[in-house]
A = this chain, B = another copy of it.
Amino acid sequence: MRPSQRALDQMRTVTLQRGVAPFAEGSCMVSFGDTKVLCTASLEEKPPLWLRGAGKGWVTAEYAMLPRATLERKKREGTSGRLSGRTQEIQRLIGRSLRAVTNLPAIGERQIILDCDVLQADGGTRTASVTGAWVALWECVQWMQKRSMISLNPLRDHVAAVSCGIVNGEVVLDLEYQEDSTAETDANFVLTGSGGLVEVQATAEGKPFSEEEFNAMLGLARKGIADLIELQKKVIHGA
């Protein structure tokens, strides 16, 4: 039995709440169970330096946790001036995932920064971030279209993410912290609305995993992500 009494292929309750940050061009509070991330989209009129004059824009992400998002307080990374390897991996993953469904030339020479700040962390913060950041990005793009800054919708597709893992020998979907910390294998999948794969990351924490186990995880992820994208659609059309 899973700690939350969920079935092996069952996700936690997911919510996506739009328009939560009044000053941002786009925003979404996403929760996967007790994991809660505030995603904001900020439009900057200049692309990053290395892209100046390239006739296209950029989408990037920053990720951070509030110090008491976790069971035990963690030091702010700002105190040391260095981002941990984990933080860097996550923010690179979020950025790549969003760029995979964005037509960058259609943005123009601008940059959209997605800030994903974790208010509560109970496993799956990076997958919740990808899923919520897409909504914030969508709002930002709407904001631009309303102001006729862009003619084309630069978002080619949805993108969402979920974690899978092998816990006590069982393949499970959407791990919460207690499962995550004891999983034998830990995987993250990012897929588009049309079912294409954008990112696959699977890591054996203890013993190696087999190709069958990998395929079972991918199957669960595909199902979970389909539900997430359904929810994204509801949220952006219902607003």
Number of residues in A with C-beta < 8 Å to the partner?
Answer: 61
Chain B residues closer than 8 Å to A81, beta-carbon distance:
78-82
Q: Distance (Å) between the CB of A17 and the closest chain B CB?
A: 13
The proximity string for A residues 48-78 relative to B, scoring 1 for CB distances below 8 Å and 0 otherwise, is 0000000000000010101111110100111
Could you say how many copies of this chain the assembly holds? 6
A87 to chain B, nearest CB (A): 9
Are A100 and B204 in contact, CB atoms less than 8 angstroms apart?
yes
Q: Does A85 contact B (CB under 8 A)?
A: yes
> Using Cβ atoms and an 8 Å threshold, which residues of chain B touch A206?
100
Q: Is A127 an interface residue (CB 8 A)?
A: no
CB of A3 within 8 A of chain B?
A: no
Q: How far is the CA of A68 from the CA of B83 in the complex (A)?
A: 19
A38-B119, A201-B201 given; 18 more Cβ-contact pairs under 8 Å: A21-B68, A23-B69, A42-B68, A62-B76, A66-B117, A77-B78, A78-B81, A78-B83, A80-B81, A81-B81, A82-B82, A84-B88, A85-B89, A85-B91, A96-B203, A100-B208, A196-B204, A200-B214
Using a CB–CB cutoff of 8 Å, the interface residues on chain A facing chain B are 21-24, 27, 34, 38, 40, 42, 44, 62, 64, 66-71, 73, 76-85, 88-89, 91-92, 96, 100, 113, 115, 117, 119-120, 187, 191-192, 194, 196-204, 206-211, 214, 218
